[in-house]
């Protein structure tokens, strides 16, 4: 059972008054957990740092592979932003978004695994062959993405959270929530983000990545939903830098397109 936060009830009422059955997707709960880790939505501002975003979109990082700081720099390519990248990573480790530990290799069976710092002792037990071995004299920390964060990212959280950040910095007041399943007359619609910004109702379709043949129908459905409930604004947000003409045609005069550059911009419109 995924509960609806009390401060979004007004938005849900608008959907229900238009005849939609509303339920919260499990992904919405993942995002709430991610926000709790970060502190609040403003605490997610690190997502607008391009090197951090490159790190989070790396397939191996999202799978839970642990890397040293030097290896993460090679993935993130901070270039002239090395100092800022280091400060952000220090902060993310402190908030347990990246968990510090060591990659250890068993001298008996050669199994190499990551161990969190909380499990480290002078004498370690291999998780494979169960042999005991002593900790090496010299080790580099290895950092693994928090599993909840990894699940959320794999479920498309990045574009949703970046869209929420965009709306927040361009509004005086905002209430928002994400990931609802809607049903009306047997038709199902996934709603990625709904918000009230300065009194205006906003719907957004948010996709980290997509195939044009799949997203076109989804956009049409969400645009129909926006018309049905009298939304004041519709947004299609994506981390992709190139948009097929078919998408632009669907959005023409009906919605705002936000691409990677707009989502990562640190200032308002």
The string of pLDDT tens digits covering residues 18-69 is 999 999 888 888 888 999 999 999 999 999 999 999 999 999 999 999 999 9
DSSP string, 80-118: GGHHHHHHHHHHHHHTTSEEEEEEEE-TTT--EEEEEGG
The string of pLDDT tens digits covering residues 130-174 is 999 999 999 999 999 999 999 999 999 999 999 999 999 999 999
Q: What share of the chain has pLDDT > 70, as a percent? A: 96
Write down the H helix ranges in the chain: 9-17, 26-38, 50-56, 59-62, 69-76, 82-94, 147-154, 157-169, 212-229, 245-251, 260-264
Q: What share of the chain has pLDDT > 90, as a percent? A: 74
User: What pLDDT score was predicted for residue 212?
Assistant: 74
The string of pLDDT tens digits covering residues 245-256 is 888 888 887 888
User: What pLDDT score was predicted for residue 269?
Assistant: 39
Q: Is the pLDDT of residue 260 over 70?
A: yes
Considering only residues 80 and 98, tell me which one the structure prediction assigns the higher pLDDT. Answer: 98
The string of pLDDT tens digits covering residues 178-226 is 999 999 998 899 999 999 999 999 999 999 988 777 788 889 889 999 9
User: What pLDDT score was predicted for residue 4?
Assistant: 58
Rounded to 5 degrees, φ, ψ at 121 are -135, 170
Contact between 164 and 203 under an 8 Å Cβ cutoff? The reply is: no
User: What pLDDT score was predicted for residue 210?
Assistant: 83
Neighbours of 9 (CB within 10 A): 13
Q: Is the pLDDT of residue 103 over 60?
A: yes
Q: What average pLDDT score do residues 105-123 get?
A: 96
Is the sign of the CA dihedral 8, 11, 17, 18 positive or negative? negative
User: What pLDDT score was predicted for residue 268?
Assistant: 42
Q: Is the pLDDT of residue 3 over 60?
A: no
Contact between 268 and 169 under an 8 Å Cβ cutoff? The reply is: yes
- Beta-carbon contacts of 238 under 8 Å, excluding residues fewer than 6 positions away, are 159, 206, 207, 208, 209, 210, 258, 259, 260
Q: Is the pLDDT of residue 1 over 80?
A: no
As given in the structure block, the two tokens for residue 77 are 């390519």
User: What pLDDT score was predicted for residue 6?
Assistant: 57
**Closest by Cα among 132, 122, 81 to 102:** 122
Grouping H, G, I as helix, E, B as strand and the rest as coil, residue 139 is coil
Q: Which domains does the chain have, with CATH numbers?
A: 6-27+154-264 (3.40.1350.10), 98-145 (no CATH)
User: What pLDDT score was predicted for residue 239?
Assistant: 93
């Amino acid at each position: 059972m995924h509960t609806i936060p009390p401060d979004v009830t007004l938005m849900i009422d608008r959907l229900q008054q238009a005849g939609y059955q509303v339920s919260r997707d499990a992904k919405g709960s993942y995002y709430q957990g991610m926000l709790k880790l970060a502190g609040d939505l403003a605490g997610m501002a690190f997502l607008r740092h391009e090197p951090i975003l490159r790190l989070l979109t790396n397939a191996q990082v999202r799978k839970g592979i642990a890397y040293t700081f030097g290896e993460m720099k090679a993935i993130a390519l901070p270039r002239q932003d090395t100092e800022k990248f280091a400060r952000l990573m220090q902060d993310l480790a402190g908030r347990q978004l990246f968990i510090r530990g060591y990659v250890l290799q068993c001298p008996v069976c050669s199994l190499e695994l990551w161990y969190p710092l909380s499990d480290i002792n002078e004498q370690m037990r291999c998780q494979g062959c169960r042999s005991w071995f002593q900790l090496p004299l010299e080790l580099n920390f290895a950092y693994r993405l928090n599993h909840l964060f990894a699940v959320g990212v794999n479920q498309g959280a990045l574009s949703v959270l970046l869209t929420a950040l965009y709306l927040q910095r361009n509004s005086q007041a905002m209430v928002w929530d994400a990931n609802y399943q809607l049903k009306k007359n047997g038709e199902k619609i996934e709603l990625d983000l709904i918000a009230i910004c300065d009194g205006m109702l906003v719907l957004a379709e948010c996709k980290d990545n997509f195939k044009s043949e799949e997203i076109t129908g989804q956009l049409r459905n969400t645009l129909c939903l926006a018309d049905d409930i009298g939304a004041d604004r519709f947004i299609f947000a994506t981390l992709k830098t190139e948009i097929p003409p078919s998408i632009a045609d669907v959005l023409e005069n009906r919605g705002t397109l936000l691409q990677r550059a707009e989502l990562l911009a640190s200032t308002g419109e």
